[in-house]
Chain A
Amino acid sequence: MTPAPFAAGLALAVVAAAVPAQRPGQAQRLPAGAPPATQACVGCHGARGGGNPDAGAPRIAGQSQRYLRKQLDSFAQGSRRSAVMQPIARGLPPEVRSSVAAYFAGLDTPGGRISGEPPARGRALALQGDNALGVQACRNCHGPGGVGEPPNIPYLAGLDANYLAKELRAWKEGTRTNDAGQQMFRVATALPASDIEAVARYYESLPPPAPPPHELVQAPPPRTRPQGPARTAPARRESSQGSGVEQGAPTTGGAQGPGGGGASETGQDDGGVSGDGENRKEPGSPQPGGGDQSRAPAGLTWPGLSDAATKASAGSNAVEIGRALIESGAYGCQGCHHIPGIRWPRGIVGPPLAGFARRSFIAGQLPNDRDTLAAFLQNPPALIPRTGMPDIGLTLGQARQIAAFLHTLDGCDAP
């Protein structure tokens, strides 16, 4: 349901007033029902999917489930490249990619950065294109105001300019090849660097859209709905599409250019795209890393951060609180790091943290003492500008608690 425009505007105004005072990623309270695997995402993209420009993580809230799922598939297959995203995506089974995508697709997160007057050249390219370059207007596909044409075409409005420019360069260099018709390759190839910057800054200046209230095309009513908690992915396709596999993916007789996602990337058409209650039943889907997680109600409902902290602070123990902060998943530590005692996920993006207490250096550069570690955790790029570890929005107190926990890790490797 969409709130009344007035109420929405009011809410936006209130949040907007509050947001500038906060650092990215702060106030990460996750609603009950977010899939556990979201832990792998929130560290960089934020619990509400608002993104973290300084970490190079784009806003993903309200992008369509289909688009987000496809990007995860592309990272897993290599048609999009990212040192961080590729191992994370490979670690997520297809059903989990869908549920994570559905979660972020359903988020209506205020956002967008005020970046001053957008460049006229960027506006001209976005709205009109350039006949001499043979470049069509971005708006032709990405919609008026850059709001996208879900489910296939993403919104650009309010995305970080550095991210947009980076992606245009990736299309141009051929390191991103996951559009079906190579349109983006052609467009990006034709654009000089200054135009890439200009159009990226133009879209950054626009407000991002709210998630669409529902899919544009209503699926026909299901004929048979599988009963029981264990709903497999094919059964869900059946129930939402209503007419079998041939309808799910276009039957094709012809080659479409190389780099076209192909059926494996785009053919998966999961149900429950609308981000309503349907997705909240998702935890029934298989999870990697052991069945005990799925038996633990706390792991499923994902208590808000304060709950975790409250529970832990009963022992008044910084180590326990630090451990609980990590285990809550709200900061996504385990999305990148394999951390002893934290069962899942087991990230491989950053180094494993087993035996961390015995290490001499943090990130190979800083002395590994408690205070330095806490300062580093609170804002890694501030101390090591080229680190891949983002500012995840910890308070100094939280950073100290996590540092306390990390300094208990002195075993060799205890999974």
Chain B
Amino acid sequence: MAARPAAVDAVLIGVGLVGTVLGRALTRAGLTVVGLERGDPRHTVPDFQGPHMHDELRYAVRHSLMQNPAKETFTFRHTLNDTALPVRRLGSFLPGSGLGGSMVHWNGQTFRFQDHDFRQYSHTVARYGRKAIPREATIQDWGFTAAEFEPYYDRFEYLLGVSGKAGNIQGRKIPGGNVFEDPRSREYPTPPQKEPYGSALFRKAALSLGYHPYPQPSCNLSQPYTNPEGLTLYTCTFCGFCERFGCEHYAKSTPQTALLPVLLADPNFELRTGCHVQRINLDDTRRHATGVTYVDAAGHEVEQRASLVILGAYALNNPRLLLLSGIGTPYDPKTGKGVVGRNYAYQTMSSVDVFYDETVNINPFMRSGANGTVIADFAGDNFDHGPLDFLGGAYIGEIMTNGRPIQFHPTPPGTPSWGSAWKRAVARHYNHTCSINVHGSSIAVRGNYLDLDPTYKDAWGQPLTRITFDFPENDIRMSAYVTQRALEIAKAMGGRQVHASARERPYDVTEYQTTHNTGGTIMGTDPATSVVNRYLQSWDVSNLFVIGASNFPQNASYNPTDTVGALAYWAADTIVKQYLPNPGPLMGR
């Protein structure tokens, strides 16, 4: 018999970025809110402390801040014809677990998507014709424009204190910023971080080729910043332990540093950690959620009743909980019908290494998670795809994040992978190598999707998420083309040797690429092709909002966090202003 604590106005599934933003908005609106977090509570003090926070083995290699695959993981296969096997050790992507979610261990790269990303289908048809869309692609529009969405980006960025340089303020282009971006209402909250030496070499080379380099927008702050919630962040020290680590310096914008202390102090809010939500409960009509059932840290089942349910788990776990709860029609890749699990996408990463003489010191250890210089000339549809045979693109940047001893040892091709020759090469090249990232988009295709695994279950006996994915041909062609452009820049950077490796098939789930999994509960304006409406409200259950990168109909060239945060504010604003005064569907089916 499950315990049944008092009903509350709203329950949050997951207290990461989405849960924190929604929790704050809803408690401010006077609602009583319970936040359910599966992981542990964690705070800058005392949990992220030097020097032990700089334990590369514990955090970067053994993934101490991430989901524990011994209890809860994913199964993976490339195609419908394969049998999926469990991911027993995290590799290609690293979902966070614990208070603050994945944003605790993020790098802080804070990009906005562009208007043509939000309207990829209609924009492509308008510019290149329907034939330009690959046959297998299931790309579609998000349901809003960049102009409609701008205030929410602005609000989120001012919460975080993003350090950057605008390239377009209210239509006025500004050299030195991202001149391809859509108009932003004002400058970034704080100026860009310092430019590392390797990034400066990249900037000069990119300029010489006629491109438009700009400083990567960073949530490792360039100066102290007090946000509208009254919380103060410090200046980043370029310690080189950002991604996969918590920041001990209060210098990385995370729920912990930017919002959680305010939320936790609110008497209307209650945080419960160690709570694994098993399902969202529905009433007999199956159109209305009554709350959630979770298992607490002691193993007891608890039913938490609530008038409003906010699902803000990691992108891969949002569709899973809908499937486990029987909400929405599961997607069937054979027929193309159904929506939950549809349009799973990833990102298409590649890199180019520049090996220098020993006279050029790159000092890779003196880095932050989101420092460096990038170009957006080949992102999204910022270049003419007319003569090309693919959609999408990539931003290119010298944005190295660290020179940590276990995992950073670039060597030129041909170097033995072990032994004394390898050791000599590591010592020779450690401080004299630049790595250029090619951070590419991912289109949605019919065969890439998420569902429940028929065989493997988690520690609570529930089926795991099954990922069926391989890189679409379109994205392989995109990666080949943009990686070639990156190679040209690399050659102009004055190194002794360059080496490029474009992305190839098959997708390798064991090799880290990026934690930018998207789709599965995608947003849209048609219930036949989306799980939630443009306000992120479930088409099927109107008092359920599903928020996260799982809303992306396909994935853009840029990092997703800024868009997830803006989506959270977008949904919060709609709930407070439209839904709460008049609960019910916000869009007609």
Contacts and interface: CB of A to CB of B under 8 A. Distances in A.
Q: Provide the main secondary structure of the chain A interface.
A: loop
B359 A220 contact: yes
B360 A247 contact: yes
Contacts of B196: 250
B200 A128 contact: no
B200 A251 contact: yes
Given A137-B248, A182-B224, A253-B200, A130 B45 contact: yes
Residue of A141, A223, A251 with most partner-chain B CB within 10 A? A251
Nearest to A125: B45
Given A247-B360, A253-B200, A256-B223, A139 B51 contact: yes
A256 B224 CA distance: 10
Contact of A256 (B232, B235, B250): B235
Interface in B530-557: none
B358 interface: yes
B45 A181 contact: no
B200 A186 contact: no
Given A131-B46, A181-B236, A257-B224, A251 B249 contact: no
B222 A254 contact: yes
Nearest to B249: A136
Interface residues of B, number: 39
Contacts of A144: 51
Interface footprint category on A: 35 or more
Interface in A210-241: 220, 223, 241
Nearest to B431: A217
B235 A182 contact: yes
Contacts of B360: 243, 247
Given A129-B45, A131-B43, A144-B51, A247 B234 contact: no
Nearest to A246: B197
Interface in B14-53: 43-46, 49-51
Interface stretch (B186-194, B275-283, B341-349, B504-512): B186-194
A181 B223 contact: yes
B194 A139 contact: no
Interface in A123-146: 127-131, 134-137, 139-141, 143-144
Nearest to A153: B237
Contacts of B194: 250, 252-254, 256
Contacts of B199: 253
A185 interface: yes
Contacts of A139: 49-51
B224 A255 contact: no
A140 B231 contact: no
Interface string B210-251: 000001000000111000000110111100000000001110
Contacts of B361: 220, 241, 243, 247
Contacts of A243: 359-361
Contacts of A185: 224
Interface string A106-131: 00000000000000000000011111
A384 to B, nearest CB: 42
Contacts of B50: 137, 139-141
Nearest to A242: B359
Nearest to B358: A220
B195 A251 contact: yes
Contacts of B49: 127-129, 137, 139-140
Nearest to A128: B46
B249 A250 contact: no
Contacts of B234: 136, 181-183, 186
B224 A140 contact: no
A183 B195 contact: no
A247 B236 CA distance: 21
A66 to B, nearest CB: 14
Interface string A254-269: 1111100000000000
B240 to A, nearest CB: 13
A203 to B, nearest CB: 16
Q: Counting chain B CB atoms within 10 Å of each CB, which of A129, A141, A182 scores highest?
A: A129
Contacts of B43: 131
A259 B51 CA distance: 27
Q: Give the interface centre of A135, A183, A190, A254 by most chain B CB atoms within 10 Å.
A: A254
A252 B359 contact: no
B401 interface: no
Interface in B323-362: 358-361
A-B CB proximity, top 6 nearest: A181-B235, A257-B223, A253-B195, A140-B50, A254-B192, A131-B45
Given A144-B51, A241-B361, 10 more contacts: A131-B45, A131-B261, A136-B248, A137-B49, A139-B51, A181-B237, A243-B359, A247-B360, A253-B195, A256-B193
Interface of A: 127-131, 134-137, 139-141, 143-144, 180-183, 185-186, 190, 220, 223, 241-243, 246-247, 250-258
16 contacts: A129-B44, A131-B261, A135-B45, A140-B249, A181-B224, A183-B237, A241-B361, A250-B196, A251-B195, A253-B194, A253-B200, A253-B215, A254-B163, A254-B191, A256-B193, A256-B222
